[in-house]
Structure 1
């Protein structure tokens, strides 16, 4: 695998977030006959950087019956971060030099490490601080709906909001558990197709505002650098500038702010065609990206690693 493919297209890595996790995701790349040393080394880097939290996280990652379920914020978020980072490192070890990175939710933290904005130890500390804060938030969830955001406006309220715009008719609602369940029932009664996202937390909704208070101070204490690789933000829907990455409030509000994956992907592909490689535990972003006109036209390509989980 090289930095470009036939036609000389640049490569962009897509790094997924909450909802892409599943039990024992990518463990086959860590140990056994199909193990990839570069992947295993990168995962060990993350577990080591996490200090005391790394050992139980690694144990639950491998466990058939984990102590803490993989959908719990203290497991899903750091493990997605670690797998995204390690898969990207594996791809890059094969000679790929990405021209751009696009992370979804916590995937943007992994992108920030790959681009040199944060060191891995600093980023792991920030991710662990985030999940500790969010673990104390009230029960919540996320609901994927086959509809445009405008169609869903009459159903919003009680802190249920648009948490992510993933595609033209793929919107994710987020909020507290009881109001979200009520909203979901109303949508199903109105014949909307809905599906719960694997999450026990209402990411990207106002309900997490109290839990995020104080996070800005920790981000302000961590040195940042201008991105060495262009990061297309799923929060601003544009490339991150040095001013963006140096703003602690930008990072601290990630759990509260909506994810604009589709506008960010559209902005990325407006710069030219790319090979889009999803470096994460699933193929969700790949399925979304295949809806883009440039991909449907065949000028941009999509390559999820899930289909080749035992090695690219």
Structure 2
């Protein structure tokens, strides 16, 4: 396990013995930077080494050169790598994400943007449990301070606006709790909401960079989980304003049996941190596992114990934004008492909060055929219909062995599994919808019927658009979704049409899974923290993380609730890691449009068995009956419809 340090580890004289060993790389670095890398690191004649725009390329270069020297000298390649903040770029270089100069250009641009960020401040809080640090912060009368780093159980870094971080009552609150409060010598609020504008600019820079598949697992700062092998640039964007979850990252690796840590780069900051984490690791509920280059890209430990089944596992699947339409579920509402009762329950809660009937909005037949895209209705409607279809099947005697969520559908899956209550889940999506409506720029999403490699190969077609999700991939075809500003979505669709590529605009007014939702990040985190979270009673498969929810996710529900709408939807990765043997599973599509049934049919083949409950083409009573017949065959239980 190799770890790479971040900003703060730089020192005059670093790398002195390395520059002569790689003269070609150093010369290329000098041409890119416009100054002598060796002079900066070894002599620092202009005393600029501690300025962010110089620190970042210098640290990256020294760490990368030291890694190359170690490997060239016969050192064993690492089984897994991780980097602290800026060090993540050195880790990605070691894993083959890009060549030396490309990485240097990335950190050069990152450093330039961060150096121009609005004035901010950071402070270390030491000798206080990280849970207590968060409690004190929540009680303070300030909204501009975030926890930027959780480095160990008793070391956190606060980051935010200058005036708030340096407010006397902030320091006094932590000192009164028994902590040391140490202001840091920085000029900006790294890894906080203050970096949102920088994050957006950096995302535009990254849109022109082609990243290579990773050869070695890399642990991401913002998720404390492995990067996916491909399609991971969004994690570098998020890292700029997201907290560095180092304590969790190292604790997970220790739990998985990685006990040999080597720090690559100047200093020994991470070596000392590792010693502290060894003494008091975070309980992450991970079983030891090997994590080689082909390791799964998702947390392996389920949140709920598995019970062996003599029949296929029945997986209920829930869809998100883009699957909705006017009159969805109306036929079942008119004919199925349990479905109607569940829908009415949600509608009553919605009306108490919003003053209008949710069912009336959904079943407005005067709008049939129009886009159902008012977020104030659709967010709650999709949550309610997924829950109500589940209640209908429960009334027929059918229950899931596991649940799977796709984007907004993750909230439904978590509710069905008992991780949060129906009331809390509905309240979360209603409040989230209001934030989206009031605070976020309008946008759009485009579903593209082509191999996801097209997104990487043809950046001209997708400039300015984020890769929001991948549903399936293949040599001949695939399906992926892009997201961004409405004008760019329109332009991309027209360009794809000219190329003969089928692309369908989804009925949404917001750019989910892109930086267009970043303006509400902090509020969404607060909504997640307000939810009372329980251990789920059955496994929850998540497309946000490409695996199963684990115990650490339950304690970080704020991050998870945000990642559901901001992170990439990794349905393809989830299928590849969790559902490799189709004979072991039976998939029940409880999306409004039968989307999952289409994914399975076109992307995964006939061995993946399942059926949908409803779709937009009618005859929903008949499709529900067919679904129940399939479940009867699988489970051996007779339906109440029989």
Would the TM-score normalized by the shorter structure come out above 0.5? yes
The corresponding residue for 1:77 is: 56
Task: Give the conservation status (yes or no) of the 8 Å contact 1:176–1:202.
Answer: yes
Instruction: Specify the alignment match of 1:17 in structure 2.
Output: 6
The answer (yes or no) to whether the contact 1:111–1:231 under 8 Å persists in 2 is: yes
Aligned to 1:9: none
- CA deviation after TM superposition for structure 1 residue 178, in Å: 2.5
Deviates more, 1:119-128 or 1:158-167: 119-128
Partners of 1:64 and 1:226 lie apart in 2 by 36
* Residues 191 and 267 (structure 1), Cα distance of their counterparts in 2 relative to 1, 3 Å cut: closer
Tell me, yes or no, if the aligned pair for 1:165 and 1:261 is still in contact at 8 Å.
yes
Question: Counterpart of 2:470?
Answer: none
Name the SS for the 1:142 alignment partner: strand
Task: Note if 1:102 corresponds to 2:82.
Answer: yes
1:248 aligns with 233
**Using the alignment, how far apart are the partners of 2:280 and 2:164 within structure 1?**
37
Query: Deviation of residue 234 (structure 1)?
Result: 2.2
Match of 1:282? Answer: 267
Please report the TM-score for the alignment, with normalisation by the length of structure 1: 0.79
Change in Cα spacing, 1:46 to 1:217, as seen in structure 2 (3 Å) is: farther
Equivalent residue, structure 1, for 2:350: none
Structure 2: distance between partners of 1:23 and 1:143: 23
2:25 matches 1:45:
yes
The residue correspondences of 1:213-252 to structure 2 (distance < 5 A) are 213-243=200-230, 246-252=231-237
Q: Pick closer, same or farther for the CA change 1:139–1:233 going to 2, 3 Å.
A: same
- TM-score between both structures, scaled by the size of structure 2: 0.40
User: Partners of 1:247 and 1:278 in 2: how far apart?
Assistant: 24
Matched residue, 1:194: 181
The 1-side partners of 2:85 and 2:44 are apart by 27
Looking at structure 1, the residues matched to 172 and 30 of structure 2 have their Cα atoms a distance apart, in angstroms, of 40
The aligned counterpart of 1:128 is: 108
Deviations 1:171-229 (A, max 9, x none): 11112223222233543355421223443322101111112223213212211122111
**Secondary structure class of the residue paired with 1:226:** coil
**Residues 1:190 and 1:92: Cα distance change in structure 2 (over 3 Å):** same
Q: Distance in 1 between matches of 2:47 and 2:276?
A: 38
Residue aligning to 2:247 = 262
Deviations 1:17-47 (A, max 9, x none): 12212233333x247xxxxx54xx17x6256
Task: Tell me how large the CA RMSD over aligned residues is.
Answer: 2.5
Looking at CA atoms only, which structure, 1 or 2, has the larger radius of gyration?
2
After superposition, the Cα gap between the structure-2 partners of 1:273 and 1:56, relative to the gap in structure 1 and judged at 3 Å, is closer
1:135-187 Cα offsets, whole Å, 9 max, x none, are 21122232221122321232363421100111111111112223222233543
1:93–1:193 CA distance, 2 compared to 1 (3 A): same
Cα 1:64–1:79 shift into 2, 3 Å: closer
2:5–2:264 CA contact under 8 A, matched in 1: yes
Deviation at 1:67, TM superposition (A): 4.3
Tell me how far apart the structure 2 counterparts of residues 73 and 80 of structure 1 sit (CA, whole Å). Answer: 10
Give the alignment partner of residue 130 of structure 2, picking from 149, 160, 163. Answer: 149
- The 5 A counterparts of 1:152-171 are 152-153=133-134, 154-155=136-137, 157-171=142-156
Kept in 2, the 8 Å contact 1:269–1:294? The answer is: no
Conserved 8 A contact 2:15-2:41: no
Structure 1 residue aligned with 2:198: 211
- For this pair of structures, how many residues does the alignment match? 273
The Cα offsets for residues 40-66 of structure 1, whole Å up to 9 and x where unpaired, read as x17x62562363525155433233542
> 1:169, 1:87 → 2: CA distance?
30
3-state SS of 1:166 partner = strand
Is 1:217–1:248's contact at 8 Å kept on the other side of the alignment? no
Bigger shift: 282-291 or 190-199?
Answer: 190-199
The corresponding residue for 1:93 is: 72
Q: 1:287 to 1:74 in 2, by over 3 A?
A: same
Q: Does the CA-based 8 Å contact 2:18-2:66 persist in structure 1?
A: no
Match of 1:305 in 2: none
1:290-309 CA-to-partner distances (Å, cap 9, x unmatched) read 1234899xxxxxxxxxxxxx
Q: Which runs of 5+ in 1 are unaligned?
A: 1-11, 32-36, 297-312
Which structure is higher in RCO with an 8 Å CA cutoff and minimum separation 6?
1
